[in-house]
Amino acid sequence: MTAPALAGTQLGYARVSTGHQSLDQQVDALAAVGVEPGRIYSDKLSGTSTREQRPGLAALLDYARQGDAIVVVGVDRLGRNAAEVMSTIRELGERGIVLRSLREGIDTSNATGRMIAGVLASLAELELELGRERRTAAREARKARGQHVGRPKALDASKAALAQRMHDSGESAITIAATLGVSRATIYRILTTADES
Higher pLDDT, 84 or 194: 84
CATH topology of domain 10-124: Rossmann fold (3.40.50)
Q: Which residue in the list 17, 42, 158, 172 is annotated as catalytic?
A: 17
Provide the 8-state DSSP code for 144.
Answer: H
Helix 184-196 and helix 157-168, axial crossing angle in degrees, nearest 10:
90
**How confident is the model over 23-78, as pLDDT tens digits?**
999 999 999 999 999 999 999 875 545 656 789 999 999 999 999 999 999 888 88
Looking at the DSSP assignment, which residues form a beta bridge with residue 11? 70
Q: Of 25-34, 140-149, 171-180, which gets the smallest average pLDDT?
A: 140-149
In 84-132, at which residue ranges do the beta strands (DSSP E only) sit? 98-101, 106-107
Instruction: Give pLDDT, residue 36.
Output: 95
Average pLDDT, the chain: 84
Sequence ranges of the domains in the chain: 10-124, 157-196
- Helix, strand, coil fractions of the chain, as percent rounded to 5: 55, 10, 35
Higher pLDDT, 127 or 91: 91
Q: Does residue 4 have a pLDDT over 60? A: no
Residue 75 CA to residue 6 CA, distance in Å, equals: 20
**How confident is the model over 107-129, as pLDDT tens digits?**
999 888 888 877 877 776 777 78
- Please confirm, yes or no, whether 17 is among the known catalytic residues: yes
